[in-house]
Amino acid sequence: MRRVDCVQIVEAVAKLCSEINIKLNPGVRNLIEEALKKETSSVGREILYQLLENAEIAYKKKLPLCQDTGMAVAFLELGQEVKITGGNLYDAINEGVRIGYKREYLRNSVVRHPFYRVNTGDNTPVIIHTRVVEGDVFNIYLMAKGGGSENTSALKMLTPAEGRQGVEDFVVQTVSNAGANPCPPLIIGVGIGGNFELAPLLAKEAILKSGEQKDKRDEDRELERTLLNKINRLGIGPQGLGGRTTALAVYVNTFPCHIASLPVAVNINCHSSRHGKINL
182 binds ligand SF4 (CB under 6 A): yes
CB closer to ligand SF4, 183 vs 188: 183
Q: Which of 22, 99, 272, 276 binds ligand SF4 (CB under 6 A)?
A: 272
CB 259 within 8 A of CB 121: no
DSSP helix/strand/coil, 169 = helix
* Shortest distance, position 43 Cβ to ligand SF4, whole Å: 17
Only one of the segments 142-150, 167-175, 206-214, 246-254 lies at the binding site for ligand SF4 (rule: CB under 6 A); that segment is: 142-150
Q: Does 192 bind ligand SF4 (CB under 6 A)?
A: no
Q: Label residues 207-235 b or e (16+ Cβ within 10 Å = b).
A: bbbbeeeeeeeeebeebbebbbebbbebe
Nearest distance, CB of residue 270 and ligand SF4, angstroms: 3
Q: Confirm or reject binding of residue 175 to ligand SF4 (CB under 6 A).
A: no
User: How far, in Å, CA of 152 to CA of 24, rounded?
Assistant: 22
What separation in angstroms does the CA of 32 have from each of 50, 238, 246, 277?
11, 10, 11, 21
- Give me the residue whose beta carbon is nearest to ligand SF4: 146
Query: Nearer Cβ to ligand SF4, position 182 or 193?
Result: 182
Calpha distance 25→32 (Å, rounded): 11
Min CB(65)–ligand SF4 separation in Å: 8
Residue from 94, 109, 149, 153 in contact with ligand SF4 (CB under 6 A):
149
Binding mask 215-244 for ligand SF4 (x = CB under 6 A): ------------------------------
Q: 10 Å Cβ neighbour count for 80?
A: 11
Residue of 240, 263, 245 whose CA lies nearest to 253: 263
Q: Does 148 bind ligand SF4 (CB under 6 A)?
A: yes
Minimum CB distance to ligand SF4 smaller for 146 or for 200? 146
Task: Please answer whether residues 102 and 134 qualify as being in contact, where contact means their C-beta atoms are separated by less than 8 angstroms.
Answer: no
Q: Specify the stretch interacting with ligand SF4 by CB under 6 A; choose among 3-11, 113-121, 144-152, 162-170.
A: 144-152
Site residues (CB under 6 A) for ligand SF4, limited to 18-77: 66, 68
Provide CB contacts within 8 A for 36, sequence distance 6+.
45, 48, 49, 52
Instruction: Supply the minimum distance, in Å, between the C-beta of residue 205 and ligand SF4.
Output: 19
Q: At what angle do helices 163-178 and 218-232 cross, to 10 degrees?
A: 40
Does the footprint of ligand SF4 cover residue 79 (CB under 6 A)? no
* Interaction of residue 146 with ligand SF4, rule CB under 6 A: yes
- Whether the bond between 185 and the residue before it is cis, its omega within 30 degrees of 0, is yes
Contact set with ligand SF4 (CB under 6 A): 66, 68, 146, 148-149, 182-183, 270, 272
